[in-house]
Chains A and B, each alone.
Chain A
């Protein structure tokens, strides 16, 4: 591990002439920020805010700044992230490199859609300022480029205006997948942010949560107060055996039942709404030492329902429960990123506690279902995808390869392209 602390500093030299890969906060759930035998470049020290235009909401910051830090600055001034993933503990560099998407993808597209410029530091010492107009090929390759095209030193992107930190929410219970598709049709058109939690142990009952930013500055409780620090810390050494089919079933049951009525409306602070997990530091310790595997898959709209049923069936067959599983529809706004994961369809995010072989076999089934239905997988969250699957679901692989920095590589990249390139 080596640190880069200033965006004007040169790249650290890799140990033993090995390769480099940048690391943000390491919150991608796979191995795209790991580099066995090579060097990981820690970017967190590089976290300064550089420019901000209070008229247009254009902000420029060093790539190691976190969304959390950006929000603390922007929110009191009446600005918010254009889109945000389910945690604020990721860096802006990581948001670009994985082209993250949020609950408003169907209205706003992915993070990369809002990036106006960035600087890329290559291992030959060149600094490329990239945008749609300048070095546009590097711009396209770097958004969603998994840190392989060089080190992003700073990013300029557009914030969106808010008049309040509150979100008007609505949550709707659905009994099964059929009902989910019916209900979400209406809410997608009406609400900017939508996401659904499903209980995959059953036929897919769940709760759809959606919301819109409060746009009336005079509304009750409208303030511009940003979020506070997380207070709870999940303890180390949580016994992994505590997570089994029964406890997961119980948890899902309780979660589903906490809402009694079919439809509930409310008002939530953005932190509760977007970052429910951020209040508990190190929440992933609930999985104990073996950890978990995550898959995120996007299914083409016409086959989505059937494919989801099949995936839930396989999970049951392998006796693998999963905590609240996330379903959401992705819209048709295209990202400038060549390797960007989001595309129109229904995305399922699911994480299974690591039970060794059993879990790996289940993933093999999921990848098979994905390939059969023309789905794609998010390489930023994956740790198990086989190269054939990556090649089939990633149409721009060849053209992307031309922009990879010769000194950069990662575990994920070597695994995903083994025997391909």
Chain B
């Protein structure tokens, strides 16, 4: 698939979905700036993309929790790429709900990574895109943010916050011509969801294909795979007095 994304910035680049995105983008000739937690992993990934696709790739190790460093990271990416056609914010952590219930420190960490850190990167990128009047910001949220459920509301609340934050950004950026795409994946076969067994699981490459397609089309929200849209519609429509009695 050819895309018109020729310069891309990926945050959380070593996550399963981001790796699949990078693979597709490099194959279609895009230059990539990869930011992630582990310099070692970024280097391995960059070597592979450069070799197999002859792609132009640069990497930067960042600490996601330290939001004060994000502006600098985005600046480095913009300078190296010379502005970005698309940016992908892909980092996240699925922390076990039971652990969060026992230890609010862990719940805080879930908010820290899934909401604060992602929103901080999204905000920095949005400022640049607004100024340039160009670009697409793609952020991985989750179907878990559509409704709080007992099984993972520490994660879900963070993603719900992120989804609302992105709605606001989209609203703000609209006149400038820059776009925001909120991605809500279901179960994707990545290390993060390795413990989940489900017949609804899809490959990371399938998710990446859907994401790039939606980014090209200028969609606002993407459920991937598509069937999560009707499923979540039903889940959202259940009245609270019924929902609270359900084991979800």
Contacts and interface: CB of A to CB of B under 8 A. Distances in A.
- Interface range on chain A (Cβ under 8 Å from partner): 10 to 19
A270 interface: no
Contacts of A73: 51-52
**Candidate in A3, A5, A7, A45 with the most chain B CB atoms within 10 angstroms:** A5
B41 interface: yes
A48 B44 contact: yes
Interface stretch (A49-57, A216-224, A290-298, A388-396): A49-57
Contact of B52 (A8, A45, A49, A62): A49
B55 to A, nearest CB: 12
A274 interface: no
A6 B52 contact: no
B246 interface: no
Contacts of B47: 48-51
Contacts of A48: 44-45, 47-48
17 contacts: A3-B191, A5-B191, A6-B14, A6-B41, A6-B44, A7-B44, A8-B40, A45-B191, A48-B44, A48-B47, A49-B51, A49-B52, A50-B44, A50-B47, A50-B51, A51-B47, A62-B44
B204 to A, nearest CB: 11
Contacts of B52: 49, 73
Interface string B2-21: 00000000000010000000
Interface of B: 14, 38, 40-41, 44-45, 47-48, 51-52, 191, 194
Nearest to A46: B44
B43 to A, nearest CB: 8
Contacts of A50: 44, 47-48, 51
Interface in A53-105: 62, 73
Contacts, number: 32
A262 B32 CA distance: 58
A223 B194 CA distance: 41
Contacts of A7: 44
Given A3-B194, A5-B191, A8-B38, A52 B51 contact: yes
Contact of A6 (B40, B51, B194): B40
Which among A49, A52, A73 has the greatest number of chain B C-beta atoms within 10 A? A49
A16 to B, nearest CB: 18
Contacts of A51: 47, 51
Shortest Cβ-Cβ A-B pairs, 5 listed: A48-B48, A8-B40, A49-B51, A50-B47, A6-B41
A3 to B, nearest CB: 7
Contacts of A52: 51
Among A8, A48, A52, A62, find the residue whose CB has the most chain B CB atoms closer than 10 A.
Answer: A48
Interface string A379-409: 0000000000000000000000000000000
B21 to A, nearest CB: 16
A168 to B, nearest CB: 30
A95 B41 CA distance: 24
Contacts of A45: 191
B67 to A, nearest CB: 26
B38 to A, nearest CB: 7
B156 to A, nearest CB: 26
Nearest to B44: A48
A49 B44 CA distance: 8
Given A8-B44, A50-B47, 13 more contacts: A3-B191, A6-B41, A7-B44, A8-B38, A8-B40, A48-B45, A48-B48, A49-B48, A49-B51, A50-B48, A51-B47, A51-B51, A73-B51
A62 B194 CA distance: 21
Contacts of B194: 3
Nearest to A45: B191
Most buried by A among B40, B44, B48, B191: B44
